[in-house]
Structure 1
Amino acid sequence: MKINKEDMPIVMQTPDSIMRNITGYGGMTVAFNEIPKGTDFTPLLQGLKNNSCHCPHWGYIFEGAIRLVYDDKSEEIVKTGDVFYWPAGHTAIVEEDVKIIDFSPEKEFGEVMEHIGMKMAELGE
């Protein structure tokens, strides 16, 4: 089973970013995202438990850097070349334009993305 990233469905797009994902990979959603510096997911997670992402993610940073802030207030920067695991209970702020692939459980990922879509509509983004 394989797919080229260009063939993955686009689920969100702005002039500066593109988010692609596909389900059906052994119960996981595969996402390839290109997100600009300054993007802060925190406002989009408001209303979820602890106002944070409750979906774990495993992945790799192809380019750029992203700062994770966990529910316990600890932080880490994940950057070009890093393989990562982000447990449930986090938010993220893009420190440098980032290209990232991640793998997430379908159910939790779907719940978070649905919430983000609603928040973006509310905020007029």
Structure 2
Amino acid sequence: MPSANKMTTPVSVDLPVLKGRYAELDGYTVGFESYPEDVDPAPLFAGLPEDRCQCTHWGVVQSGQVTFRWADHEETYGAGDAYHAPPGHLPLISGGTSLVEFSPTDGLEATMAVIEANLATAGDLS
């Protein structure tokens, strides 16, 4: 059975507001993410349907807080909470947040292609 460990998975995203380590596990990607400061990455989702993330995520907040905003409501999760974020959300992350998140690899790759293009145009999230 495939597995991943936060300490041995290489860092693949190293921005002032996000450090991310990602490993592919049989069609799903596990992400170990930490956010040292508050971040609202909503502008990076421009170009996706409704300018919102279309990838489903399941995760556990290890520290801090994450809020997922949909067009009609929002849900906030804190340390120790497990969550499911279906498509159509925008994240809002508090500084000091650390989480482990699982996403279908194909959906995450499509989303990340748009985010990376927006980052290239606008610069980093800071």
SS of structure 1 residue aligned to 2:16 = coil
The AA in structure 1 aligned to 2:60 is: Y
Q: Does 1:92 align with 2:81?
A: no
**Percent identity over paired residues:** 29
Q: Does 1:80 align with 2:90?
A: no
Q: Distance in 1 between the 2:17 and 2:40 partners? A: 14
Partner of residue 65, structure 2: 65
Greater strand share, structure number? 1
Q: Distance in 2 between the 1:123 and 1:31 partners? A: 24
Partner of residue 27, structure 1: 27
Q: Distance in 2 between the 1:7 and 1:114 partners? A: 25
Partner of residue 3, structure 1: 4
Give me the TM-score of the superposition, normalised by structure 2. 0.90
CA RMSD of aligned residues (A): 1.3
The AA in structure 2 aligned to 1:109 is: L
What are the ranges of 5 or more consecutive residues in structure 1 without an aligned counterpart?
A: none
Partner of residue 108, structure 1: 107
| TM-fit CA distance, 1:16 | 4.1
Runs of 4+ in 1 over 6 A off after TM superposition: none
Give me the TM-score of the superposition, normalised by structure 1. 0.91
1:51-84 alpha-carbon deviations (Å, 9 max, x no partner)? 0000000010000001110133x01111100000
What are the ranges of 5 or more consecutive residues in structure 2 without an aligned counterpart?
A: none
What is the aligned residue count?
123
